[in-house]
Chain A
């Protein structure tokens, strides 16, 4: 088989893309296995050092923060709960509201849909003070509910679900009805299984969205018990040296590497589903 120049150049471009993605991660990982002094004096590393277990152990177990109470492990758990809650609720609510918009034909369905769509123009960052006021009036500061609730509505996901439901032929609903399915059953037995690839995709996006939230948890939490990974990155692993705060670079790299694991796991687990759905074309 002859290899065409076009193929070669395509592969080179792909390879460059892969390198662009992988190299920074590798550098972070390699650097996380040295000690801070080495990094500070010699710069970032490409080779694996000897301090892997010590650094990672410290990151996971060392208590930090002002109160010296919160650990990175705790922050991972917090972030995971927050992201999981946001992703689950976002997907559920969007799928259900799209169902209502598509299948319950009432006159206001279209205006309501556009109203939902317009909320894309006012993300949380824009309405953060009123949101904070409401959440604090409800007494939800420093709670998982408070972290999750203001972020669970999603116009984007509603939009995608709506577009998908509209492609499902009416006969399917009609024949399900004649088979004795009520609205709930139709949603659960038909729309959910038919849109499972979309659910998986949405879940991935929303999980990453929830996981990388910074401003909201920062404002919302005063108790270190509810700190999240992204907040912690700035705050912990700082060493005081003659009154100047110096970052403990090696531990921070370890922390970054660890913080990548939950979203990567979600992607890897759901990807199986995702691809399965793509291969089994269901007409």
Chain B
């Protein structure tokens, strides 16, 4: 049994919305689990059921060996960082951190020591006397983290805690959260709809769509080996290219090209997925691209264009290649690095 176990957990809201479908999942002690998925897919709902803020319609959640379905959130020993931080507006930073400890009846001296330690760790020691309204977004974020850390809970939950920060601060805080989690070693679940955040933070990544976990694995496994069309499209930036086609007797035919000896027994309509970074230029390549636009990132260039059938397509090449608008490129797929999905079910078939 793992540290946190969800068994066939289902959530149906009173208005009939089924937000989470029979979901099973386990998180090991000390692991950093990330839930990622588009808006409305049920990430928050799942997290809030772990926290005890939503009733569990069906299924079981066990934490550290105890069934917690009916345990009040105040008794679960879980800390959560909210998207808008939910700092206590009438208390100064010190009391924001100390409040949870006070409720647990810890004596004053210990509280002071713990708060000061946490404040130091998060570099908010100078602001302890301030009210939250007198802090910047990044500082509030740290206070929210501090409030979670100081209690040394069994598990940390984060619900999109970085989405209110500007891009630069977000990257910085992302790093800090990762470092902090490694230092403190607390089991964590982090919810986000940003795939970069998900990839960089996660030990394990759960890609959720419409209340169902589509794939649960390490980030690199998900990147290398997406199990479904949805996962393939969601993870990776820029997005994977998709081309419609047909697979028959191990031969894949799409608009303008064919791939022979495909390792798949599937026959029928398929979607071919190719990541922009898994392509390279060659004479007589499979794919012919008419370049519309080139984005120079320095290290890389992102080349956008259209295929024969006017379908949009992206190719990522090293930054030292000079490609300009109007060029016609001929591209090959590197090392059979392509993914084939059943067009109707979205399941991976190669």
Tell me the chain B residues, 79-118 only, with Cβ under 8 Å from chain A: 79-80, 82, 84, 86, 88-90, 99-100, 103-104
A contact residues around B73 at 8 Å (CB): 174, 177-178
Interface pair B84/A194, CB less than 8 Å apart: no
Interface pair B86/A171, CB less than 8 Å apart: yes
Give which listed residue, A171, A181, A182, A282, contacts B133 with CB less than 8 A.
A282
For the complex, what is the distance from the CA of A195 to the CA of B230, rounded to whole Å? Answer: 48
Beta-carbon nearest neighbor of A175 in chain B: B86
A190 at the interface (CB under 8 A from B): yes
A189 at the interface (CB under 8 A from B): yes
**Shortest Cβ distance from residue A175 to the other chain B in the assembled complex, whole angstroms:** 4
B350 at the interface (CB under 8 A from A): no
A4 at the interface (CB under 8 A from B): no
A179 at the interface (CB under 8 A from B): yes
For the complex, what is the distance from the CA of A172 to the CA of B104, rounded to whole Å? Answer: 18
Interface pair A181/B74, CB less than 8 Å apart: yes
A179-B133 contact given A185-B103, A193-B90, CB 8 Å threshold: no
For the complex, what is the distance from the CA of A280 to the CA of B90, rounded to whole Å? Answer: 10
Number of A-B contacts (CB under 8 A): 67
Interface pair B89/A174, CB less than 8 Å apart: no
Interface pair A169/B84, CB less than 8 Å apart: yes
B193 at the interface (CB under 8 A from A): no
B131 at the interface (CB under 8 A from A): yes
Interface pair B90/A194, CB less than 8 Å apart: yes
Interface pair B53/A174, CB less than 8 Å apart: yes
For the complex, what is the distance from the CA of A282 to the CA of B133, rounded to whole Å? Answer: 7
Interface pair A180/B88, CB less than 8 Å apart: no
Interface pair B103/A171, CB less than 8 Å apart: no
Q: Mask for A160-182, Cβ within 8 A of B = 1, else 0?
A: 00000000010110111111111
Interface pair A169/B86, CB less than 8 Å apart: yes
For the complex, what is the distance from the CA of A177 to the CA of B72, rounded to whole Å? Answer: 9
Tell me the chain B residues, 43-83 only, with Cβ under 8 Å from chain A: 51-53, 72-76, 78-80, 82
Interface pair A177/B53, CB less than 8 Å apart: yes
A contact residues around B104 at 8 Å (CB): 180
A contact residues around B86 at 8 Å (CB): 169, 171-172, 174-175
B147 at the interface (CB under 8 A from A): yes
A contact residues around B88 at 8 Å (CB): 172, 175-176, 190
B contact residues around A280 at 8 Å (CB): 131
**Shortest Cβ distance from residue B90 to the other chain A in the assembled complex, whole angstroms:** 5
For the complex, what is the distance from the CA of A281 to the CA of B132, rounded to whole Å? Answer: 11
A contact residues around B78 at 8 Å (CB): 178
For the complex, what is the distance from the CA of A181 to the CA of B147, rounded to whole Å? Answer: 14
For the complex, what is the distance from the CA of A172 to the CA of B89, rounded to whole Å? Answer: 9
A234 at the interface (CB under 8 A from B): no
**Shortest Cβ distance from residue B273 to the other chain A in the assembled complex, whole angstroms:** 39
Interface pair B103/A175, CB less than 8 Å apart: no
For the complex, what is the distance from the CA of A38 to the CA of B133, rounded to whole Å? Answer: 62
A283-B53 contact given A178-B78, A179-B100, CB 8 Å threshold: no
A179-B51 contact given A172-B88, A174-B82, A282-B90, CB 8 Å threshold: no
**Shortest Cβ distance from residue A95 to the other chain B in the assembled complex, whole angstroms:** 16
A contact residues around B89 at 8 Å (CB): 172, 194, 282-283
Interface pair B51/A178, CB less than 8 Å apart: yes
For the complex, what is the distance from the CA of A176 to the CA of B99, rounded to whole Å? Answer: 9
Q: Mask for A212-249, Cβ within 8 A of B = 1, else 0?
A: 00000000000000000000000000000000000000
For the complex, what is the distance from the CA of A174 to the CA of B86, rounded to whole Å? Answer: 9
Beta-carbon nearest neighbor of B48 in chain A: A174
Beta-carbon nearest neighbor of B86 in chain A: A171
Beta-carbon nearest neighbor of B100 in chain A: A179
A282-B131 contact given A169-B86, A179-B103, CB 8 Å threshold: yes
B contact residues around A175 at 8 Å (CB): 80, 82, 86, 88, 147
**Shortest Cβ distance from residue A269 to the other chain B in the assembled complex, whole angstroms:** 21
For the complex, what is the distance from the CA of A234 to the CA of B252, rounded to whole Å? Answer: 105
Beta-carbon nearest neighbor of A171 in chain B: B86
Q: Mask for B305-342, Cβ within 8 A of A = 1, else 0?
A: 00000000000000000000000000000000000000
Tell me the chain B residues, 197-237 only, with Cβ under 8 Å from chain A: none
Give which listed residue, A179, A189, A282, A283, contacts B147 with CB less than 8 A.
A179
For the complex, what is the distance from the CA of A107 to the CA of B90, rounded to whole Å? Answer: 31
Interface pair A182/B90, CB less than 8 Å apart: no
For the complex, what is the distance from the CA of A185 to the CA of B88, rounded to whole Å? Answer: 13
For the complex, what is the distance from the CA of A283 to the CA of B104, rounded to whole Å? Answer: 27
A contact residues around B100 at 8 Å (CB): 178-180
Which residue, A171, A175, A189, has most C-beta atoms of chain B within 10 A?
A175
For the complex, what is the distance from the CA of A132 to the CA of B57, rounded to whole Å? Answer: 52
**Shortest Cβ distance from residue A51 to the other chain B in the assembled complex, whole angstroms:** 52
Interface pair B131/A182, CB less than 8 Å apart: no
For the complex, what is the distance from the CA of A36 to the CA of B147, rounded to whole Å? Answer: 70
Which residue, B75, B84, B103, has most C-beta atoms of chain A within 10 A?
B103
Beta-carbon nearest neighbor of B132 in chain A: A283
**Shortest Cβ distance from residue B152 to the other chain A in the assembled complex, whole angstroms:** 13
Beta-carbon nearest neighbor of B103 in chain A: A180
Interface pair B74/A180, CB less than 8 Å apart: yes
9 A-B pairs besides A174-B53, A179-B103 with CB distance below 8 A are A174-B73, A175-B82, A175-B86, A179-B100, A180-B100, A181-B99, A190-B88, A190-B90, A283-B133
Interchain Cβ contacts under 8 Å between A and B, 22 examples = A169-B86, A171-B82, A171-B84, A172-B86, A172-B88, A172-B89, A174-B51, A174-B53, A176-B88, A177-B53, A177-B74, A179-B100, A180-B74, A180-B104, A181-B74, A181-B99, A181-B103, A193-B90, A194-B90, A280-B131, A281-B133, A283-B132
Q: Which residues of B contact A (CB under 8 A)?
A: 51-53, 72-76, 78-80, 82, 84, 86, 88-90, 99-100, 103-104, 131-133, 147, 151
Sorted from nearest, which 9 A-B pairs have the closest CB atoms?
A180-B103, A171-B86, A179-B100, A175-B86, A282-B89, A177-B73, A193-B90, A180-B74, A283-B133
